[in-house]
Amino acid sequence: MVRPVREARAEHARLALGRPARRGSVDAQQGALVRRHAADALAHVHVQKLGHVDRVRQGRADDCTRPAPGDVRRAHRSRQRLEPDGVPPPRRRAECRPAGRQRAGRHRRRRGDVNTRPGRANDHAPPSRRDHVDPARVAAASDARGHLDGPEPPESRLPELGAGELDRTDQAGYAHAACVAETNLSWIAHLAAAAAAVALAPHATPGVTPTTITIGGTVPISGPAAAFGSVAGGSEAYFKYVNAHGGVHGRQIVYTYLDDAYEPAKTVQFTQQLVEQEKVFALFDTIGTDNALAIREYVNDRKVPDLFVGSGVSDIARDHARYPWMMGYLPSFVGEGVMDGRRIAQVTPRAKIAVLYENSNFGKDMLSGLKRGLEGKGKLVAQQSYEPTELDVGSQIARLRASRADTLMLFATPLFAIKAYAGANRLGWHPRIYVSSVSISPDVMKVARLNATPRTVDGSISIAFVKDPTSPAWKNDGTVKLYRSILARYRPKAKPLDVYLYYGMAVAYTMVDALRRAGANPTRDSLLRAATHLDETNPFLLPGIRIKTSPKDYYPMDKARFVRYSNGLWVLFGKLVNARG
């Protein structure tokens, strides 16, 4: 099929205009380095408004220039004769019809249905709109595909006409059609070359556009570990702060997180959704040890980075050669257990020790580290596990008390740590207590004091690696001031007492660092390479603690300090200690 010259030129002009890609939803604004003074956080935030793409109107039969009253077709309307072999003479007006209608007309004319006149073509539907597409690729794609009619069905060859069987009008029509056909063939060849170039172009990196970079993760906003949900809120607030100060290589960070309720099965489901439907560039800070391990095979097979997960389990760090696409962030759980065991061996070598631990890789790692750190000192007299789905641990605490232990290890998540404190208090049991670092947020300890007594809770010992924004010791610290200002602007209803928010900002800082190091045109490979070559001073961490990684070292943090809970505050004591175990 061919079109009149005037229509072809109009169509070509429409193609040349192209269509801009629709800007996708932007959840974050643009931002900058944390090293700026806390007042920078209060700078003006430019919120980019969503745009709407004007739909380009497609070619229609009505777009063709209507014939003048003296048109050839009108002048010869009375002549309805058939040419030899049943082929009607060419008709100028037919050139303005869409291809589908022209073909239908030809078939009807071959059957001799000369009195039936094709109706008006329907408007073409506008092309689908696409989110987050590179404008250059959209332009190329529109050149290649935007306005071409679909393939015609196979047709039998038309009979050839003998010499002298066309009158002058008919001969002029065919000559005009042949000229247009030659012009359009050249144009179609150009479009075919453009389509081939698009087909051979490298595929865009998922989750990366010229203006945004999308990451995602799962978080227990509900369920037995809902206290950890604040981590995502802190990270989100920090990303908004970064976006408001320039972003990462000019791109806004879009952070999407889903509530898995601390259930590994949901973690698997939502991770697949983030990767396959949301098309995230990378996963970030999957919270929970068993949750992270549940998706480790998947992210490794898909080669999707899952960085700085909320776990210090040894399986993730030790198996990095087999599963290189997942990296933890917390200090080693085994290392934390070793730290506790060594302190007990040095300070109370004759201690009788009871352990409450979560029946997961997290709890088992802590218990394993404790036994290693004791080095034969002290005596492990009882140990009880609990399932994350249990409603209470009162019976476990009662059995541990019956062992006459004077030291209690709580290798538990926040909710069960609180229940353990309350259970011990109900029994009138006041042992020395060591509590896992994942459960020492001041707001958690405050709840524990309310459910037990200050006597039961005060004196508890743990380890720390981030600054405590609730402590007077960091009142004038620039990073702590920044933390409070970010919360005030981006999460005004949040409570600064919730240190999980602060931890969320600390891990987000490292993620931004990795994204910057991945380059101006990041790929998943370049992000993994950046994450495995970090040497970072993170201002959210305690002085002397660095984030350092290598392709053979998947423990970003290797040091920590002891803290003691006293009168509602955690107080640092001692020097930095090796947290590797």
Q: What is the pLDDT of residues 118-130, one digit of tens each?
A: 333 334 334 333 3
Please indicate, yes or no, if residue 56 is contained in any of the structural domains: no
Question: Which pLDDT score is estimated for 544?
Answer: 96
Question: Which pLDDT score is estimated for 190?
Answer: 56
User: Looking at the predicted structure, is the pLDDT value of residue 65 above 50?
Assistant: no
Same-domain status, 113 and 143: yes
User: Looking at the predicted structure, is the pLDDT value of residue 66 above 80?
Assistant: no
Sign of CA dihedral 328, 330, 332, 337: negative
Same-domain status, 77 and 67: yes
User: Looking at the predicted structure, is the pLDDT value of residue 7 above 50?
Assistant: no
What pLDDT band is residue 275 in, cutting at 50, 70 and 90?
very high
Kindly report, residue by residue over 391-416, the tens digit of the pLDDT: 999 999 999 999 999 999 999 999 99
Cα of first residue to Cα of last residue in the chain, in angstroms, is: 76
What pLDDT band is residue 581 in, cutting at 50, 70 and 90?
confident
* Arithmetic mean of pLDDT over the chain: 77
Please indicate, yes or no, if residue 490 is contained in any of the structural domains: no
Same-domain status, 392 and 409: yes
Q: How many domains does the chain have?
A: 3
Same-domain status, 342 and 323: no
Sheet holding 252-259, edge to edge: 252-259, 212-219, 282-284, 306-309, 326-328
* Distance, CA of 261 to CA of 221 (rounded, Å): 6
Please indicate, yes or no, if residue 246 is contained in any of the structural domains: yes
Same-domain status, 434 and 347: yes
In the chain, the percentage of residues whose pLDDT exceeds 70 is: 65
The stretch 141-153 carries a mean pLDDT of: 37
Same-domain status, 437 and 521: no
Domain at 411, CATH number:
3.40.50.2300
Please indicate, yes or no, if residue 235 is contained in any of the structural domains: yes
Same-domain status, 135 and 84: yes
Query: What is the C-alpha R_g of the chain?
Result: 35
Same-domain status, 224 and 281: yes
Please indicate, yes or no, if residue 547 is contained in any of the structural domains: no
Domain extent, residue 279, equals: 212-331+506-537
Please indicate, yes or no, if residue 206 is contained in any of the structural domains: no
Kindly report, residue by residue over 311-344, the tens digit of the pLDDT: 999 999 999 999 999 999 999 999 999 999 999 9
Same-domain status, 516 and 445: no
User: Looking at the predicted structure, is the pLDDT value of residue 176 above 60?
Assistant: no
The stretch 246-253 carries a mean pLDDT of: 97
Give me the residues paired with residue 358 across strands. 386
Same-domain status, 290 and 376: no
pTM: 0.67
Same-domain status, 339 and 324: no
**Residue 457, both tokens:** 């809770």
* Distance, CA of 131 to CA of 62 (rounded, Å): 31
Same-domain status, 27 and 169: yes
Please indicate, yes or no, if residue 115 is contained in any of the structural domains: yes
The residue that leads in pLDDT, 142 or 298, is 298
Question: Which pLDDT score is estimated for 494?
Answer: 94
Please indicate, yes or no, if residue 405 is contained in any of the structural domains: yes
